[in-house]
Amino acid sequence: MKNRILALSLLGLSSSVFADSELPSSVFADSELPSSSYEMTVAVEEQSLKHDFPSVKFDYLGQTLTTSVDECSYTGTLSEDDDNTILLSATMSCTYESGSSYSEMPDFVLKHEGGEASMSFGDGDTDMWTYSVTVKKLDL
């Protein structure tokens, strides 16, 4: 339990240190919708629990979607960061018999064509928490 609190504390610190103070918001008029959509797959592993969330499809940048597995929900927003990159910002919440948790996930900046990103926290050589995403650009 002590290690879990430490990992979650580090996650909150990491999120606040590496995240921009102002996240870009993307609002598109009908004529400005991007011509690409994206598919995202997320996995979060904490100690002995692994959450493989069902894939979701973003129809446009700036869209916020939620995917759930077991007792956890992951809400992510995929937005344009600059001309060549996209930004994934997310939260995860879980409700267990012993209580609930809420985490702001670390932001990931990916190439416009998508990619993979992962972050781990641990104790020595043991990863106690791993957050991985895969974002694929889909052809229309």
Quote the pLDDT of residue 99.
Answer: 92
| Residue 67: partners with Cβ closer than 8 Å, 6 or more residues away | 42, 53, 54, 55, 56, 73, 74, 76
CB count within 10 Å of CB 82 equals 10
Amino acid at 82: D
What global pTM score does this model have?
0.72
- Was domain 2-20+34-138 assigned CATH 2.40.160? yes
Give the model confidence (pLDDT) of 57-89 as tens digits: 999 999 999 999 999 999 999 999 988 899 999
Give the pLDDT confidence score for residue 140 in this predicted structure. Answer: 61
Q: What is the pLDDT of residues 30-39, one digit of tens each?
A: 434 445 899 9
Count other C-beta atoms under 10 Å from residue 135's C-beta: 22
Q: Tell me what pLDDT residue 35 has.
A: 59
Q: Round to whole Å and give the CA distance between 71 and 1.
A: 19
CA–CA separation, 48 and 79 (whole Å): 32
